[in-house]
Structure 1
């Protein structure tokens, strides 16, 4: 099939999934744009429902998918795409459905709790960081952004598929962590213990909150330890994704010394 009209029903469906959160929820589908992102999703075991390719924008081939891809004109693809400079590949993937109970955990797992993250870019970078350090899962608590929106997918560079991701209520996440003997470390500017002085080799879940509000009282009161990143300047905190990266990479450094 080759589509040349932006009024084609299939094109309209993709645009609606791109722009409308309710449509994504109803169809349980997400829009993934980019050759690398689609490849990473497939490498993680996810299969697309539909694949679109604009031959005028790409010469790359997706193994096993090229013959099944719906080709579209450059004008149509640019209408469907959400990137400023699209690379000619776009796919619809089912929104992943899973439970943390299915995780195969090592002796000292590393989890990330992202509470009330408001910006798609921050959440995407948190997922990239989780992928980079090999975190066992990310718990999204008190969600304020559509996790499966194209903006999060783009910011994550496709790692939204490579890291187990669970949307949970605070109480549910805490109950699961305690049932699995995982200590919660709450990152907060009000703490007195520097993050590098804490034993990060044990099973842990690092909790971070919004830049404007920080973590809620729920996580601050239920954490086994509160930790802080020392600040020498005028501000009292870093960007949430930067703060998280410092802490989890310290965990990796400590674990490598064992």
Structure 2
């Protein structure tokens, strides 16, 4: 029988609200997983929940009780919240009544399981959580071996990253490191780097994106740093016909990744 919490002043309710903040997440080594689809995908990937909170007043379907039972069987503590209490802890405007607490993890470059011809995505200083989540979905759809975040600005455990990734965060290996370390590792592995920038004549469709490859994307505001512009094996650009001089980084990532997918067959 799940413990029911109705008070908005309950310590567990207060702790869930605190976990929206990066410092609180990092100190606790925990993060939030909100939403049926996200919780479902986390369970499918054997993410060990510490706790699962639910409120049937917010449910959108009929499969939630089975999911809760599965999480409990996997070791999660289960708590029922009143509608008001869940409304306070939920991150979404219209929650669907499920919120889990999971432990953070950390992958290293050597943890990446590379195919014989690796296909990686490297992102430098991505600022917006929504963009990062969408980028993770794109890397998953394109079949990337992993996503490497250089000089990270955004915390991968930000609730907006988890939400925008629709739970793909649990299936795509993500490594956070610094640019110099990543560049040296790619060189040592014989993985070519293709850096995206408007400042080149090389069209992405006319550049060989086959073989061992890492596509490198820059930040929303500044693009790629001098380090990557000078250190990449090749620079590529997406042609722009209008007045805009750049695309949203998540959109540019999708376009470039799937050109590589097309070329790689």
Q: CA deviation at 1:144?
A: 1.6
Answering whether residue 37 of structure 2 is matched by residue 36 of structure 1, we say yes
Show the counterpart of 2:51.
Answer: 50
Residue number in structure 2 paired with 1:189 = 198
Residue in 2 that maps onto 1:12:
14
Q: Deviations over 1:153-189 (max 9, x none)?
A: 1111111111111110111111111121111111000
Question: Any gaps of 5 or more consecutive residues in structure 2?
Answer: none
Deviation at 1:66, TM superposition (A): 5.2
Please list, as runs of the form range in 1=range in 2, the aligned pairs for 1:195-234 lying within 5 A after superposition: 195-234=204-243
Instruction: Check conservation: 2:107, 2:176, Cα contact below 8 A.
Output: no
In 2, Cα distance between equivalents of 1:134 and 1:252: 8
Provide the C-alpha distance between the structure 2 equivalents of 1:167 and 1:17, rounded to a whole number of angstroms. Answer: 21
d(CA) in 2 for partners of 1:55 and 1:141? 41
Cα offset for 1:101?
A: 1.0
Query: Partner residue of 1:246?
Result: 255
Secondary structure of the equivalent of 1:160?
helix
1:128 aligns with 2:140: no
- Give the Å deviation of 1:14: 0.7
Q: CA deviation at 1:146?
A: 2.1
TM, length-normalised to structure 1 = 0.95
For residues 71-90 of structure 1, what are the structure 2 equivalents within 5 Å?
71-90=80-99
Paired with 1:118 and 1:98, the residues of 2 have a C-alpha distance of: 20
Q: Secondary structure at the match of 2:19?
A: helix
Q: Secondary structure at the match of 2:56?
A: coil
Aligned to 1:23: 24
What CA distance in whole angstroms lies between the structure 1 residues aligned with 2:125 and 2:108? 20
Matched, 1:65 2:57: no
The separation in 2 between residues aligned to 1:134 and 1:44, in whole angstroms, is: 17
Pairwise CA RMSD: 1.3
Other structure's SS at 2:57 match: coil
* Ranges of 4+ aligned residues in structure 1 off by more than 6 Å: none
**8 Å CA contact retained: 2:49, 2:71:** no
Deviation by residue 1:215-235 (Cα, 9 ceiling, x = unmatched): 000111110000000111112
Deviation of residue 38 (structure 1)? 1.1
Match of 1:3 in 2: 5
